[in-house]
Each structure stands twice: as C-alpha cells, then as structure tokens.
C-alpha cells in the first residue's frame, strides 16, 4: 500500500523539525492509489486496496545544536503550506 514518508531533523534538545514529505508508491496493481493500479475492467471495490497506510516518520538528520525555541529564539513567521511544508515540529 502507498504511504507518505515524513522526514525530520532532530536537535540536541530532542525536538524535531519536519524537513519534507515524500509520496511512496507501492507499485501494486491491486492498490487504487498506486500509479500501477490496473486499468482493465475488474471488481475494484472488492479486490483492490482502497486506502493508504498511515504516514511513516523517520529522522534523517541530526544536529548538535538545540532548536530555536530552546535557544530562546522566537519562531519565524512561516507561510501556510501543504503536505510539503516544513513548519511542523515534533517533541518526543
């Protein structure tokens, strides 16, 4: 099944900043979301996967400094973005 891979940078303070999101195609002919979903006539509702699996999250980068908030730097104003916006932050 297809999914979104969401990548993060982890700061030394433990906070994480989203750095990107990437669509991962499962390449299955029985997945309606995949670019490889079969085009010929078939019983799609009963034979094909109809939903993506949940987003997968992975830390791809680490830094030896604390995040801006922990260093006392106010967060910068960011424009509203879609799935590829890097404005999301996580804490562990």
Residue pLDDT, tens place only, 22-74: 999 999 999 999 999 988 899 888 889 899 999 999 999 999 999 999 999 88
Tell me the CA distances in angstroms from 64 to 10, 12, 22, 72, 75, one per residue in order: 9, 5, 25, 16, 19
DSSP 79: -
**pLDDT number for residue 85:** 44
| Entry pTM | 0.70
pLDDT in tens, 8-21: 999 999 999 999 99
């Amino acid at each position: 099944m297809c999914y979104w891979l969401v990548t993060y940078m982890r700061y030394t303070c433990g906070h994480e900043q989203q750095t990107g999101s990437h669509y991962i195609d499962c390449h299955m002919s029985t997945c309606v979301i995949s670019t490889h979903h079969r085009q010929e006539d078939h019983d799609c509702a009963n034979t094909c996967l109809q939903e993506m699996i949940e987003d997968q999250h992975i830390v791809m980068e680490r830094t030896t400094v604390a995040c801006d908030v922990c260093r006392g730097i106010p967060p910068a104003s960011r424009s509203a973005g879609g799935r590829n916006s890097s404005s999301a932050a996580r804490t562990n």
